[in-house]
């Protein structure tokens, strides 16, 4: 969406950030400001079917880069985030409270700077209490640190393959996007969702 809106420096792909080893004792929300770290944490979260939280964090971070004067862009981006992460049954619906969800859905001002504030707060807490600990003991983190060291020493990087050990899961390997499962839903009548 960042690209679609022509937002420069849209996060995941750009690699111009200074590279340094990160300190796990720093608050997670601060660490997630580091693109490389965010990318690694996202890959880990995707691997244990909890990636939507990090993707949401990423996109809200992109939204925060749009100038407050640029209302049109802010509204388009906000709408995109709502459709993708907030509405019931959304493709990557996040795990937030009814209150935070209603607050967003009933707003009269989509350009508001604090539109996703409470939702983001809940999601950061969810990541902190649920995913962070397992990330620190996963191969994703080890590989991330190794990459940092190699970059500092000026080595070329290889793609991250075969390094997907996670302390959370051994035998479930969902696709990168855990939500692409329409065919499965249809085949097993799981589309008959309980959501109402």
- Residues 15-34 touching other proteins, rule: CB under 8 A, are 27, 29
By CB under 8 A, residue 45 contacts other proteins: yes
Pick one of 4, 88, 113, 152: the residue that binds other proteins (CB under 8 A): 88
By CB under 8 A, residue 99 contacts other proteins: yes
Our measurement of the distance from residue 170's CA atom to the centroid of its chain's CA atoms, rounded to an integer in Å, reads 22
Distance CA 100, CA 102 (A): 6
By CB under 8 A, residue 170 contacts other proteins: yes
**CB atoms closer than 10 angstroms to residue 105:** 11
By CB under 8 A, residue 192 contacts other proteins: yes
Distance CA 148, CA 41 (A): 14
By CB under 8 A, residue 133 contacts other proteins: yes
* CB of 107 or CB of 181, closer to other proteins: 181
Pick one of 3, 15, 64, 95: the residue that binds other proteins (CB under 8 A): 95
Distance CA 67, CA 64 (A): 8
By CB under 8 A, residue 112 contacts other proteins: no
By CB under 8 A, residue 139 contacts other proteins: no
Give min distance, CB of 154 to other proteins, in A. 35
End-to-end CA distance of the chain: 29
* CB of 77 or CB of 127, closer to other proteins: 127
By CB under 8 A, residue 130 contacts other proteins: yes
Distance CA 172, CA 146 (A): 26
Our measurement of the distance from residue 2's CA atom to the centroid of its chain's CA atoms, rounded to an integer in Å, reads 14
Can you spell out the DSSP letters for 67-88? -TT-HHHHHHHHHHHIIIIIST
3-class DSSP state of 98: helix
Which residues make up the interface to other proteins (CB under 8 A)? 27, 29, 45, 48-50, 52-53, 88, 93-99, 101, 121, 124-126, 128-131, 133-134, 168-172, 174, 178-179, 181, 184-185, 188-190, 192-196
């Amino acid at each position: 969406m960042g690209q679609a809106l022509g937002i420069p420096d849209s996060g995941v792909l750009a690699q111009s950030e200074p590279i340094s080893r990160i300190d796990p004792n720093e608050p997670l929300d601060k660490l997630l400001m580091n693109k490389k770290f965010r990318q690694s944490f996202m890959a880990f979260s995707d691997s244990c079917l909890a990636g939507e939280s990090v993707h949401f964090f990423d996109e809200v971070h992109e939204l925060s880069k749009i100038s407050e004067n640029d209302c049109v862009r802010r509204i388009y981006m906000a709408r995109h985030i709502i459709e993708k992460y907030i509405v019931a049954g959304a493709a990557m619906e996040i795990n937030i409270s009814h209150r935070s969800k209603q607050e967003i859905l009933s707003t009269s001002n989509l350009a508001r700077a604090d539109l996703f504030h409470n939702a983001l707060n809940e999601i950061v807490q969810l990541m902190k209490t649920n995913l962070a600990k397992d990330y620190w003991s996963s191969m994703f983190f080890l590989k991330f640190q190794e990459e940092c060291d190699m970059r500092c020493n000026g080595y070329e990087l290889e793609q991250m393959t075969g390094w997907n050990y996670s302390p959370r899961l051994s035998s479930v390997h969902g696709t990168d996007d855990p939500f692409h499962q329409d065919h499965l839903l249809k085949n097993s009548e799981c589309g008959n969702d309980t959501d109402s």
